[in-house]
Amino acid sequence: MNLEELNPQQRKAVEITGGPILIFAGAGSGKTRVLTHKIAYLVKDVGLPPDNILAVTFTNKAADEMKQRVQELLNMDVSSMSVGTFHSISARILRREIQLLGYSNDFVIYDQDDSRALVKMVIKDLNLDEKSFVPKAMQAHISKAKNQMISPELMANTVEGFLDEKTSEIYSQYQKALKTNNALDFDDLLLKPIELFNEHPGRLDFYQNKYQYVLVDEYQDTNKPQFEFIQALSREHRDVCVVGDDDQSIYSWRGADVNNILNFSDTFGEAHIIKLEQNYRSTKTILECAWSVVSKNTTRAEKKLWTDNKQGDKLSVIECRDERDESWKILKIIQDETVHGSFGFDDLVILYRTNAQSRVVEDALRREGVPYEIIGGIKFYARKEVKDVLAYLRLIINPTDGVSFDRIVNFPVRGIGKTSIEKIHAYAKENDLSYLQVLEDLGKLSVGAKQKKSLHAFNQLIHKFRNSYKGQNAVDITRDLLLDIDLQNYYENQNTQEALERWNNVEELLNSITDFQDNREESGLREFLEEVSLLTDIDRWNTSDKAVTLMTIHSAKGLEFPVVMVAGLEEGLFPLGPQSFEVEELEEERRLFYVAVTRAKKKVYLSYAITRRRFGGAPIPTTQSRFISELPEEFIQEEGGHQKQAYTKSFTRPSSFQKKSPSSAKFQKGDHVAHKLFGNGKILDVEGEGDSAKLTIIFSGNVRKKLIAKYANLSPLKTSAY
| Backbone dihedral region for residue 63 (phi beyond 0: left; psi -120 to 50: alpha; all else: beta) | alpha
Kindly name the residue from 114, 218, 228, 570 that is annotated as catalytic: 218
Question: Is 248 assigned a catalytic role?
Answer: yes
Which position among 9, 31, 111, 507 bears the catalytic label? Answer: 31
DSSP 281: S
Catalytic residue among 407, 479, 599, 626: 599
Active-site annotation holds for 591? no
Question: Positive or negative CA dihedral for 329, 309, 217, 105?
Answer: positive
On the CB side of 696, CA atoms within 13 Å amount to 6
DSSP-assigned letters across all residues of 583-641: HHHHHHHHHHHHHHHTTEEEEEEEEEESEEE-TTS-EEE--B-HHHHTS-GGGEEEE--
367 has catalytic annotation: no
Report yes or no: 225 and 143 within 8 Å, Cβ to Cβ.
no
Rounded alpha-carbon distances, angstroms, from residue 68 to 15, 57, 541: 21, 14, 18
Question: Which residues, other chains included, contact 316 with Cβ-Cβ below 8 Å and sequence gap of 6+?
Answer: 603, 604, 605, 606, 636, 637, 639
| Termini Cα distance of the chain | 55
Cα–Cα dist 569/419, whole Å: 50
597 touches 290 (CB < 8 A): yes
Say whether 246 is catalytic.
no
Q: What is the 3-state secondary structure (H, E, C) of 560-594?
A: CEEEEEECCCECEECCECCCCCCHHHHHHHHHHHH
Query: What's the sign of the alpha-carbon dihedral 699, 701, 706, 712?
Result: negative
The answer to whether 304 and 292 are in contact (CB under 8 A) is: no
**Strand 561-566 to strand 348-352: parallel, antiparallel, or no bridges (unpaired)?**
parallel
Q: At residue 509, what is the residue type?
A: L
99 is annotated as an active-site residue: no
Which residue type occupies 708? I
Phi and psi for 407 in degrees, rounded to 5? -70, -35
Query: Any catalytic annotation for residue 323?
Result: no
Q: Are 55 and 82 in contact (CB under 8 A)?
A: yes
> Active-site residue among 114, 217, 288, 326?
217
Contact 507, 676 (CB under 8 A): yes
Residues 6+ apart with CB under 8 A from 553: 250, 351, 352, 353, 566, 592, 595, 596
Catalytic residue, chosen from 32, 180, 231, 437, is 32
Catalytic residue among 212, 248, 335, 488: 248
In one-letter notation, the amino acid at residue 147 is: N
372-374 and 619-621 strand pairing: unpaired
Apex CA 470: angle with CA 464 and CA 474, to 5°?
90
Helix, strand and coil content of the chain, in percent to the nearest 5, comes to 50, 15, 35
Sheet strands side by side (includes 548-552): 372-374, 548-552, 348-352, 561-566, 600-609, 315-320, 636-639
Which residue numbers are catalytic? 31-32, 217-218, 248, 599
